[in-house]
Structure 1
Amino acid sequence: MNYPKFFDNVEKIVTYDELAQFLGVNDDGIIEYTYLDIVKTSGHSCATVAGAYLSALYGLKALYKETLPRRGEIKVEIKNQPREHNAGVVGCVISNITGATTDYGFGGIPTGKFNRRDLLFYGADIETDISFTRLDNGKSVGINYRPGKIVNPMAILKSAISPDASEEDKKSFPKRFQEMVKTVLENGDKVIEVIEY
């Protein structure tokens, strides 16, 4: 698969998934997610996908500090409904990383362990865009994502789809668009706000 090389420079998200270890996926249950992994499952790379990835990266770091995030043991709340501001895309990205699902995920083994359902909520009554909560100790962190501080994705999109867009505008659009995504990913500390409760 050909893809922009900056994808490889994005920090990986490393998690521990006891279910993966239990089922023999690997010996230690450690699962690494790259931005490229998320692009493959999303089918595209944009400011929303990049923001969801960064939200998980920064949120899980704040939630777990020096220990590995425990996939499947994290409640995720999203302020918007799935069709509002592409929150459904955000939820899919974060679901892939955390294992949290609404009602469609793995229901657990017969003992009830490893359930992944009812851990992802849309339209949540929270003050931030996203909230992550550890199931083991109840600690939560909130995340706000503000790409507009450094980029204008809609302006780039409109430059390629407007009626007066030139052939050069259309031709250069994919590269310009991914340069915008690259800028977002390189400036996570500017576009992501972490609030620890």
Structure 2
Amino acid sequence: MANTVLVATRNAGKLAELRRMLAGGPVEIVGLADVPAFPDAPETGATFAENALAKARDAAAATGLPAVADDSGLTVEALNGMPGVLSARWSGRHGDDRANLELLLAQLADVPDERRGAAFVCAAALAVPGGLETVVHGVWPGRIVRAPRGSGGFGYDPIFVPDGDERTSAELSPEEKDAASHRGRAFRALLPHLRDLA
């Protein structure tokens, strides 16, 4: 599996995004379903970067492949940067997108439109067994709307409107989202490091 990089995520939406972004790149991308199973370490880091690097290190150590992992989430100004690293489990159940989104909207119900600023943040990490480790970041600023719109994307996409647009992230085409998103920005910053592996 020379020139193969493992993308360490079980989130099908995220894996599809990353495969689109890295298609035709210098390395072959495989997902966790393509390698023997190994136990997931809990996300205990206080920052996106700590969580991303821990996931990439674990995957590289378990498989012997260079591994890429990301940790990303939504930061909301009126909530002092939360849900942040807790984005996927904001409602108490990991990965329950609808419950997370509904709880966030309820928490912001009385917040006026001008104070609903937010940003999607992504830390992407690359860990090479016995070698290089690097972490890069991408930020996608915007605001939170009052009701979900759109059927694309996942997570908080239906309530996030990027700066300079009137559509939610869930109303953007996959190509538009990849070009602008926090994950797109982070993974484009990681591409030079992936090219060095080829």
Common topology (TM > 0.5): no
Larger Rg: 1
TM-score by length of 1: 0.31
TM-score by length of 2: 0.31
Q: Higher strand share goes to which structure?
A: 2
